[in-house]
Amino acid sequence: MNQPARVLAAAAPSPATAHTTMDRIAAELGRAVQGKEAQARLVTTCVVSGGHLLLEDVPGVGKTTLAEALARSCGLSFARIQFTADLMPADILGAQIFQAQTATFQFRPGPLFRQLVLADELNRAPPRTQSALLEAMAQGQVSLDGTTHALPAPFTVVATQNPVDFSGTYPLPDSQLDRFMVRMSLGHPAPEVEARLLATRGGAPALDAVKTVSSPEEVAQLRALAAEQRLDPAVADYVVRLARATREHGDIERGASTRAVLALGAAARAQSLWEARDFVTPGDVRAVLVPCWAHRVLLRSAVQGVTARDEAAHLLEELVRKVPAPR
């Protein structure tokens, strides 16, 4: 286990300093998945915005590594749950155990009670389990037998799913996809990165290189800070106009929901921290628009999985060009 690389600063982050912390986290993530700086920044943005992350990728590109690296760099407690067809809600949420000595039931928290949970191959679990997880994601708490158990803060779920192999899976309904702030894919590393991996790693786990550069408290502070970012009415109007454009687009069956609008606002707020600003610009909105909305719009064409995401991304980029940004 690595030691924290530095003594955490006592002072709370400000818009002017937040990006240094975020840069540090993104740099550590970049260490784990090399050549994916943009994705590393996006993951950081997602965590700071207080959202959950959906990774859609073929196996073997480092999804799990990325999630673990995130937990480690931020010093978050971590659990990896492999979703399988026989996984039951109690397996992730926890259960009431009968204590013989006191003759009472006691709650034994499941693996979900961690600050960062990796829901690996989420679509392999039956819908009942999926929805138990998604409910916990939305509420930040778990209700069992009438008792509410708060999940540890900051609570983040990183879910992965394989977008190509659908056999034996329960695809996430679109309404549930909506609960993920950001969807992204890592994609295969560039050839030179793969070559370097081959040459240097030699089987040594990439995670060992990741240091803890932040703390759960700092992440919580960053989230609070991001939530405070000024969103000018003109920018808010821009977000709304974008949403309306998706709803009125001929190739889109169902446009961005209100939750999508809120999520885009939150993501743009976090994004604005990168520029050491205390307000959101249309540029911030545009930067996070595709990762934030591509999985939320339902296309008229019946394509599924990655192709659908690509097409949605393409449509959204086109919309960005059509809907004039406030000046």
Partner 1 sequence: MRQGARLRLVLRDLASGCAFASMAVSGQLPLWTLGLYCVGLVAALAGKRLFARRAKLTALLLLGVAAVLVLNVTSGTLNLVVAACAFAGLISAHRLLSAPDPATDGQVHLSGLLMVAGGAALSGELVYGLFLIAFGVLASLSLALGVVEAAVPEGEPLPVRAVMPPLSVGVGFAVAGAMAFFILFPRLNWNMTGPRAAPGLGPATTGFSNTVRLGGTGTIKGNPRVVLRATLNPDPGGDALGAYWIGRTYDIFDGQEWTSAGGVKRMREPLLTLRPGGDNLVHQRVELLPAYGGQTLIALETPSRLGNAVANSTTGSRRAPLQEMYGGEARFAEPGLSYSYEAYSLPPGGSGDSFRRLPSVEQDALLALPEALDPRVSQTAARILNGEREPLAAAQKLAAWLQREFTYTLELSGDHDDPLADFLFERKAGHCEHFATALTLMLRTQGIRARLATGFFGGERVNDAYILRAGDAHAWTHVLVPERGFVTVDATPPAHRPSQGSKWVQQLLALYEALESRWRNSVVDYSFRDQVDVARALVRPPKGSEKAEQRRLPPPRAWGAALVAGLVVYVAWRAVTRLAGRPRPLDATRFVDAVEAVLASAEVSRRTEETLEELDARLAREHHPLTGALSPVTRRYLEARFGGRPLRQGEARQLLRTLEEAVTQHTRLTARASRAS
**By the criterion CB under 8 A, which residues form the site for partner 1?**
230, 232, 234-235, 277-283, 286, 320-322, 324-327
Burial of residue 214 (number of CB atoms within 10 Å: 0-12, 13-18, 19+): buried
Q: Which is nearer to partner 1, 203 or 327 (CB)?
A: 327
Pairing of the two strands 53-56 and 156-161: parallel
Q: How far is the CB of 202 from partner 1 (least distance, A)?
A: 35
Q: Which residue, 46 or 235, is less far from partner 1 as judged by CB?
A: 235
- Smallest gap, in angstroms, from Cβ of residue 231 to partner 1? 8
Compare residues 9 and 234 and give the one whose CB is closer to partner 1: 234
Amino acid at residue number 186: L
Smaller CB distance to partner 1: residue 232 or 248? 232
Least distance (Å) from partner 1 to the CB of residue 324? 7
Residue 119 Cβ, how far from partner 1 at the closest point, in Å? 35
From CA 57, how far away is CA 187, in angstroms rounded?
7
CB of 186 to partner 1, least distance (A): 23
Q: How far is the CB of 280 from partner 1 (least distance, A)?
A: 7
- Residue position matching structure tokens 């930067």: 287
Q: Which is nearer to partner 1, 59 or 324 (CB)?
A: 324
Q: Does residue 38 sit in helix, strand or coil?
A: helix
> What is the smallest separation between the CB atom of 245 and partner 1, expressed in angstroms?
13
Can you list the alpha helix ranges (DSSP code H) found in the chain?
15-32, 37-48, 63-74, 89-93, 127-139, 174-177, 191-200, 216-228, 233-248, 258-273, 282-293, 305-322
Closest CA to 46 of 234, 274, 212: 274
- Burial (CB < 10 A; 0-12, 13-18, 19+), residue 80, is middle
Nearer to partner 1, 251 or 278 (CB): 278
Is the CB of 28 or the CB of 284 nearer to partner 1?
284
Q: Which long-range contacts (CB under 8 A, 24 or more apart) does 90-99 make?
A: 91/129, 92/129, 92/132, 92/133, 93/132, 93/136, 93/142, 93/144, 94/142, 94/144, 94/149, 95/144, 96/144, 96/145
